[in-house]
Amino acid sequence: MASCEPFATTVDTKQKLSTTVNTSYNDPTLYRSLAGSLKYLTFTRPDISYVGQQMCLHMHAPCTDHMLALKRIMCYVLGTLHYGLHLYPSPIEKLISYTDADWGGCPDTRCSTSGYCVFLGDNLIS
């Protein structure tokens, strides 16, 4: 993976991963190891939190499409090694974070993904 072509985005936005469509991946232990490493990386890389969580949803029975998506994320990480959390003292007391909504985006359950968090000083409002 060290010589792969870096991607500008973490996932193909047109593709929806399903648990029932594809053939099983031949080495689920490798998949689980890579997905777990990716999840660990989210502590300092919040830009991959959502896709890391999506990859972990398929740990019980990974398919070849899941492994291809995981490899794409690894190529994204390779191209964005300079990204990460940089925390400095600041006079700003209010931090607002937004996320996008995905209406019925899961092909298996048709569940949606959305949310937001607002931090005001020491208080979290979500």
Residues 81 and 96 in one domain: no
pLDDT at 102: 66
Residues 95 and 59 in one domain: no
**pTM of the predicted structure, to 2 decimals:** 0.64
When divided into structural domains, the chain yields a total of 2
Q: What is the largest CA-CA distance in the chain?
A: 53
Residues 6 and 21 in one domain: yes
Residues 116 and 92 in one domain: yes
Contact yes or no for 58/82 (Cβ under 8 A):
no
How many CB atoms are located within 10 Å of the residue 21 CB?
A: 11
Residues 81 and 93 in one domain: no
What confidence tens digit (pLDDT) does each residue in 14-68 have? 666 776 666 888 899 999 999 999 888 888 888 888 888 888 888 888 888 888 8
Residues 112 and 60 in one domain: no
Residues 34 and 56 in one domain: yes
pLDDT at 118: 46
What confidence tens digit (pLDDT) does each residue in 95-126 have? 666 665 666 666 666 666 555 444 445 444 44
Query: How far is residue 6's CA from residue 39's CA, in Å, rounded to a whole number?
Result: 19
Residues 125 and 68 in one domain: no
Domain that holds residue 8: 1-85
pLDDT at 126: 46
Has residue 77 got a pLDDT over 50? yes
